[in-house]
């Protein structure tokens, strides 16, 4: 079990931003196990993330750490910096809803990583516009919601999805190859808390059978992008990307297989970064303190 707390903060760029955080941690008897910071000189914005362990004077793990007082006092200390501060406990697990259509590779990968403890989250439901993934969700003991969709029922179907998100208290929605375009209203509701995965091919191949299109063009790279959703299709703030080389010996089925592997790895990495509070949304971009 992790015993480290996670502190994230951001503020306008100013002298002393790192010091106000690290000095406070030292004064509170906290041992920093990981520290990342970034100053964006173009926007004049500073970002910092620290993992730390509250310790006694003898160096043992402190059992009487007062998180509320710690956070309140830090906010007061950093008020002159206009610093936004967030503190996450070691055992804090984000509630997650996963959405999927008929391709099961990303869903299966996420469920496996969750089962072995690699992704610190509580999956509250699996939602799909098809019934195909119900047995997989049932095997993992997860509620499965089948909400069919047609062009005429899109609004009603999204209302059902939103109801599941609200009733389960989900803080994150993962689109694990959910092959429906979300409405502008749904994108706004899920802004900053919905992660999508899609293939990354150059040139950009849209529509049906993208890997067959890529094969016809003789592509030499295939990849995937995990990003937050927004109202621009597949153009939301990027969290992480994966890429591998291919050559003339890769037939369409080989490209598809390699693409699936990259999608699984890229999505799980993006989700983990989000769960571990490593991602800061910064306008249309992200600041990501990967490890």
Picking from 50, 14, 76, 117, the residue whose alpha carbon sits closest to that of residue 277 is 50
Question: What is the predicted pLDDT for the residue at 1?
Answer: 44
Please say which residue of 59, 88, 117 terminates a domain.
88
Other Cβ atoms less than 10 A from the Cβ of 188: the count is: 11
For position 62, which CATH number holds?
3.30.70.260
Question: What is the predicted pLDDT for the residue at 254?
Answer: 95
Is there a single domain that holds both residue 74 and residue 157?
Answer: no
Distance between CA atoms of residues 104 and 82, nearest Å:
45
Is the pLDDT score of 287 beyond 70? yes
Question: What is the predicted pLDDT for the residue at 61?
Answer: 75
Please say which residue of 88, 110, 135 terminates a domain.
88
Distance between CA atoms of residues 54 and 62, nearest Å:
5
Is there a single domain that holds both residue 118 and residue 250?
Answer: yes
Question: What is the predicted pLDDT for the residue at 245?
Answer: 95
Per the structure, the complete domain to which residue 33 belongs is given by 5-88
Question: What is the predicted pLDDT for the residue at 2?
Answer: 65
Other Cβ atoms less than 10 A from the Cβ of 225: the count is: 23
The residues facing 62 across adjacent strands are: none
Mean pLDDT of 183-190: 95
Residue 138 φ then ψ, to 5°: -65, -40
State in Å, rounded, how far the first CA of the chain is from the last one. Answer: 18
Q: Assign 285 a pLDDT band (cuts: 50, 70, 90).
A: very high
Please say which residue of 57, 88, 119 terminates a domain.
88
Question: What is the predicted pLDDT for the residue at 82?
Answer: 96
The residues facing 172 across adjacent strands are: 96
Distance between CA atoms of residues 4 and 68, nearest Å:
16
Mean pLDDT of 268-290: 96
pLDDT tens digits for range 191-237: 999 999 998 876 777 778 888 998 999 999 999 999 999 887 778 99
Is there a single domain that holds both residue 63 and residue 99?
Answer: no
Is there a single domain that holds both residue 84 and residue 103?
Answer: no
Is there a single domain that holds both residue 76 and residue 117?
Answer: no
Question: What is the predicted pLDDT for the residue at 206?
Answer: 74
Is there a single domain that holds both residue 135 and residue 77?
Answer: no
Question: What is the predicted pLDDT for the residue at 58?
Answer: 67
> What does pLDDT average to over the chain?
93
Tokens matching residue 140: 């993992």
Is there a single domain that holds both residue 74 and residue 193?
Answer: no
Is there a single domain that holds both residue 80 and residue 106?
Answer: no
Is there a single domain that holds both residue 201 and residue 260?
Answer: yes
Coil vs helix vs strand at 81: helix
Is there a single domain that holds both residue 205 and residue 282?
Answer: yes
Positions marked catalytic: 234
Instruction: Check whether the bond before 203 is cis (ω within 30° of 0).
Output: yes
Report the interhelical angle of 105-115 vs 252-275 (nearest 10°).
40
Other Cβ atoms less than 10 A from the Cβ of 248: the count is: 8
Distance between CA atoms of residues 8 and 75, nearest Å:
12
Q: Containing H/E element for 114?
A: helix 105-115
Domain count, the chain: 2
Is there a single domain that holds both residue 138 and residue 16?
Answer: no
Cβ atoms 286, 270 nearer than 8 A: no
Contacts of 62 (CB under 8 A, 6+ apart): 29, 54, 55, 56
Is there a single domain that holds both residue 214 and residue 250?
Answer: yes
Tokens matching residue 19: 């010091």
Distance between CA atoms of residues 107 and 269, nearest Å:
14
Could you give the percent of the chain with pLDDT greater than 70?
98
Mean pLDDT of 107-127: 97
Q: Assign 268 a pLDDT band (cuts: 50, 70, 90).
A: very high
Distance between CA atoms of residues 126 and 114, nearest Å:
13
Mean pLDDT of 29-42: 96
Picking from 13, 19, 10, 82, the residue whose alpha carbon sits closest to that of residue 48 is 10
Q: Assign 20 a pLDDT band (cuts: 50, 70, 90).
A: very high
For position 232, which CATH number holds?
3.40.50.170
């Amino acid at each position: 079990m992790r015993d480290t707390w996670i502190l994230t903060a951001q503020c306008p760029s100013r002298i002393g931003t790192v010091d106000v955080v690290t000095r406070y941690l030292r004064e509170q008897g906290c041992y920093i196990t990981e520290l990342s910071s970034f100053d964006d000189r173009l926007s004049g914005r500073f970002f910092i993330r620290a993992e730390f362990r509250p310790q006694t004077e003898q160096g043992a793990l402190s059992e009487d750490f007062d998180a509320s007082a710690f956070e309140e006092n830090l906010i007061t200390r950093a008020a002159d910096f206009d610093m936004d501060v967030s503190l996450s406990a070691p055992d804090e697990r984000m509630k997650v809803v996963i959405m999927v259509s008929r391709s099961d590779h990303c869903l299966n990968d996420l469920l496996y990583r969750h089962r072995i403890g690699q992704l610190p989250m509580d999956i509250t439901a699996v939602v799909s516009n098809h019934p195909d993934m119900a047995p997989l969700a049932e095997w993992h003991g997860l509620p499965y919601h089948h909400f069919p969709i047609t062009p005429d029922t899109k609004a009603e179907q999204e209302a059902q999805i939103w109801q599941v998100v609200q009733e389960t208290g989900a803080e994150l929605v993962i689109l694990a190859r959910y092959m429906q375009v979300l409405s502008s209203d749904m994108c706004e509701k899920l802004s900053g808390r919905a992660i999508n995965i899609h293939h990354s091919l150059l040139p950009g191949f849209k529509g049906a059978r993208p890997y067959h299109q890529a094969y016809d063009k003789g592509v030499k790279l295939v990849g995937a992008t995990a990003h937050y959703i927004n109202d621009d299709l597949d153009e939301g703030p990027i969290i992480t990307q994966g890429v591998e080389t291919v050559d003339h010996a890769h037939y369409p089925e080989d490209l598809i297989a390699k693409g699936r592997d990259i999608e699984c790895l890229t999505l799980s990495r993006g989700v983990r970064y989000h769960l571990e509070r490593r991602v800061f949304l910064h306008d249309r971009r992200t600041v990501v303190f990967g490890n």
